[in-house]
Structure 1
Amino acid sequence: MRLSSLLIIAMTFFAAAVVSLVAANFSVKLIEESSEIGVRDALDDEGMTWAEVQADGLQVTLAGIAPTEAVRFKALTTAGSIVDAARVIDQMEVEAQAAIAPPRFSAEVLRNDSGISIIGLIPTTSDRESAIERFSDIVGKDNVADFLEQGDYPAPEGWEDALAFALTAMTQLPRAKASIEAGRVSITAIADSAEAKAAMENKLNRSVPPSVELMLDIAAPRPVLTPFTLRFQIDEEGARFDACSADTDAARTRILAAATQAGVIGTARCTVGLGVPTPRWADAVEQAINAVKQLEGGSVTFADADITLVALAGSDQANFDRVVGELENSLPDVFALHSKLPKVLDPNEGPPEFTATLSPEGQVQLRGRVVDVSMRDLAESYAKARFGSEKVYTAARVADNLPADWAPRVLTGLEALAGLSNGSVTVTPTGLSVTGNTGNPDASSEIAAMLAGKLGEGSEYDIDVTYQEKLDPVLGLPSPDQCEAEIGEVLKTGKINFEPGSATIDASALGIMDEIAEILKRCGDIPLEIQGYTDSQGREEMNLALSESRAQSVLNELRARQVLTGTFTAKGFGEDNAIADNSTEAGREANRRIEFRLIRPNTVTTPEQTTLESIAQSGDTDGETTEQGSADE
């Protein structure tokens, strides 16, 4: 009985334990589910659906990849608001962040009379010290303000080319600002004259690398015109300006419109400048041009406030009197009018004259009549001083009964001739004529101003000067590609020979060097590399040294001929880049050569990639090596 009671008690306790264990397990499961669901819902409410939640007993584990560190921390905080933060296990990762974008590199260089300043952010790969040193050499170390900062990021494409070009350009511009970006340079500058502006623009445009976009804004001050000159005429060749000046853009528009009404065809040139004698300049010019039109021919010349109106010989006297009278009464008070109606000359009467001609080759001939021997010697000396002693031929004779002002008119005519590329000057008792061609677009105006100032009031002169672009010393400059092509044409018929086994240029090649030097003098600052090559005979290092020396010899010969070589480099390549088979003598001779190549951005120095290969063989005839394995001959 006692044993049975004990068994019943034991079974009761066992049953209670089982019930307690089941209840405990159920409670833990309930806690896990409620914690996981609660945290999951809270994270979803915050938009963090990327997070994974798993409950294990009382612990809640968070996993997944958070987009940022801040979002990961927010997920932990959100979970901690549902369950005890100590129960939250963090197994989350943070998504790898994209590399930080490099900054925008840019720099600005300002140069004026006080020095140079440079400011901006450039890559650490840029040679900052070299740039500052270049500027210090120009204006002095104390006059360079360096405000540059550097960023440790790769230089963007086009940055180094833009920076190098801007630094070079600023060394040539005394008053300018350059803004530099990757692949782009903007330059604002001031030139001393319109000619200097054109020269600056031409030089910069020719030297800019193809990888760089160049924006230019070069201003030139208005010229001071002394005297303020204008000359308009109508003759058998039509209506035209020999010289035209205006004080404002609006005045120029009015003057050109009046000229068009009088018969000028096409676009006429009129210079806007300083020095006008009165603000009513355009009023007077309009009236004078209209007067020439009413006379149906003749000329009107302004030299400051003096006006000379000359009708065509044989014009109707009554019409002349009427036109002149109306013009005198309508002109602003500051102007003084001188009018002339020339008489018709007897065609059988040959007036005395003096002529000077200038040929395209620069030869000058003086013919005709002079007052006396001293006058002839003076004219000849003046011409030799202007055109060169070896280029003047004199065949003038002494004559009587010449006008008293004959000598100064002859010298004035020679001075006008000096403004032409070729042409002639004729001096007669009643006038002076200048005819020819020039590369100066303002030559006609300059000659007219000079004649008006030196011949005096009422003097008659005629100017027929034609501007030709090909004679313009600025526009006539060949492009770098044209220069390369011209050198190539020279080398098609000649060779640069070297003495065997030497870097000394053979005497037979000096004429070729002269021709190449003349081409490069016209080309100006072009980026040119003179490259030396050898054949494969001999030791490679000796061939490399020989090719370097030969390229340097060519560079030195160009310098000796006064060629500006600041943008040239000499480089040896030894036996690399062979263009023919080194196993034959003909092939080895072809490989021993000098090449002239333009330096272009990202140009690989291989023969195949040259726009035009300019190759001159070294002229070696044997190519044998010594027992010691010397460089190629």
Structure 2
Amino acid sequence: HLEVVKWLADDGEVSLTGMARELGGREAIAAALAKLPDGFKVASNEVKAPPYIFQAYKDPVAVTVTLSGNVPDENIHAVVVGSSSRKFFSEKVVDNLKNSVGAPANFVNAVVPALGALSRLSTGTLVVSDRDIKISGDALYDAAAGQIRTGLAKDVPQGWQVKADITVKPAAAPVDPTVCQQLFADLLGKARIRFETGRSDLDRDSTGLLDRLVEIAMRCPAANVEIAGHTDAEGDAAANQALSEKRAQAVVDYLVKAGLPAERFTAVGYGSAQPVASNDTGDGRAQNRRIEFLVR
């Protein structure tokens, strides 16, 4: 079980130092030492574990996010994959993870925000080694690069270290407003902007989608855009109207924070007045709760 080993046995006292060959090896050695023959006892066990590695790679050409390395158990495995599926709305999530012992404390509370940062990159690599997080790649616009660097450092648990090597993707070619409208529609046909339940706070799982919408808006600088908020028909109509307005405004605020001119965007709430599906089913109501980008 040992890659590098120093073994001392003196008058029945066993001392062991070294590096375990693989994750779980340190635990296996400890179990073996607990079964020493009569007359022997463990004086010291200083066997170290190899680094606990988790990796994610976002590939815009293959349109995939590949997860590899280790997670602590099946429950956290499901959390990590499920979180990735929500954050990476258009990429296929390739799950090459394996469940292994030895994860540092607060593993999932560090990995989930790191995946959120990766979702904002055009292409990028995330490597988590023990409590060290390294992320590199191209942000979609200048403000996002700064937000990713500072935000991730604040989001990870205390005791974790972050190194962010973030550059900015070259600006895409400008397009006319008609093409811009089609790009907005195609993107929002793949995923919906999410909000906290019953509130106008943007769900952090939607940050990658919002950054893609910012990138499109930057490609048509002369176009004015209506941000239209819609709800389902559940509950009070006046409350739904107010909620749709607040959610539309939250999206406008995000666009302006990204560096886009506020005068280009108008937030309009329609409540439940313009359904695109039946409000009699859960799926229909989910379709009706939406934000639309309309080039005017």
Q: TM-score over 0.5 for the alignment? A: no
Structure number with greater CO (CA < 8 Å, separation at least 6) is 2
Query: TM-score scaled to structure 2, two decimals?
Result: 0.41
Which protein is richer in strand relative to its size? 2
TM-score, normalised by the number of residues in structure 1: 0.21
